[in-house]
Amino acid sequence: MSPSFTRAVIALGSNLGERNDTLTVAVADLVDPPEVRLLAISPIVQTKAVGGPADQPDFLNMVIAVETSLTAPELLRHCQAVEGQHLRVRGVRWGPRTLDVDIITYGDAVSSDPALTLPHPRAAERAFVLYPWSLIDPSAELNGEKVGDLAARAADFAGLAPFDGFEDNRFEDRSGAAGAVEP
């Protein structure tokens, strides 16, 4: 008998180091075992940090949809192991990090377990999760509302920016002088 698979939505974020490379490799790491299959991957958005210490670097955020035969606690352990592979340090709450991986939904599971609250307790307020999610699943709902509608009402929606794949908007000309790239 083959194992049954459950659809899960996972959010990833990074604001330290080579953020784009970290997210790319982390997605591959998350879907590496045969128990986790990638269904969809969102575009990356750039955002200011929400909560935590002031003056943090901007985050790159994205969402993936997977199907998995892992239980929710097993998926959480897998996500935390991937964070560890990318040198995630748990220090300051909502502080800077090389990689943050959160399970947003796991099928229709609802849990108030402090180790894994489902759906994610703050997802409905975070455009940096909701907007990328709406791009890969426009009909998705969270708490009975379309994720796109929730994203548009989220306090951080105005601060979202598409990420073009470059770590910053600077270049170096042949003389070695740095300059800003014109839009």
Question: Which member of 19, 29, 97, 137 is catalytic?
Answer: 97
Annotated catalytic residue 173? no
Residue 7: beta bridge partners?
Answer: 67
CB 54 within 8 A of CB 99: no
Annotated active-site residue in 19, 29, 93, 102: 102
- What would the two tokens of residue 97 be? 């990090």
Q: Catalytic: 100?
A: yes
**Residue 150: partners with Cβ closer than 8 Å, 6 or more residues away:** 124, 125, 130, 142
Alpha carbon distance 20, 164 (integer Å): 10
**Distance, CA of 8 to CA of 87 (rounded, Å):** 24
**Catalytic site residue 88?**
yes
**119: preceding bond cis by omega (within 30 degrees):** yes
Q: Which of 29, 100, 137, 156 does the annotation list as catalytic? A: 100
Q: Which letter does DSSP use for residue 122 in this model? A: T
Is 32 among the residues known to form the active site?
no
DSSP 8-state code for residue 33: S
- Residue 64: C-alpha distances to residues 54, 97, 103, 160 (Å): 28, 19, 10, 18
Q: Catalytic residue, from 19, 29, 88, 126: name it.
A: 88
- Catalytic residue positions? 88, 97, 100, 102
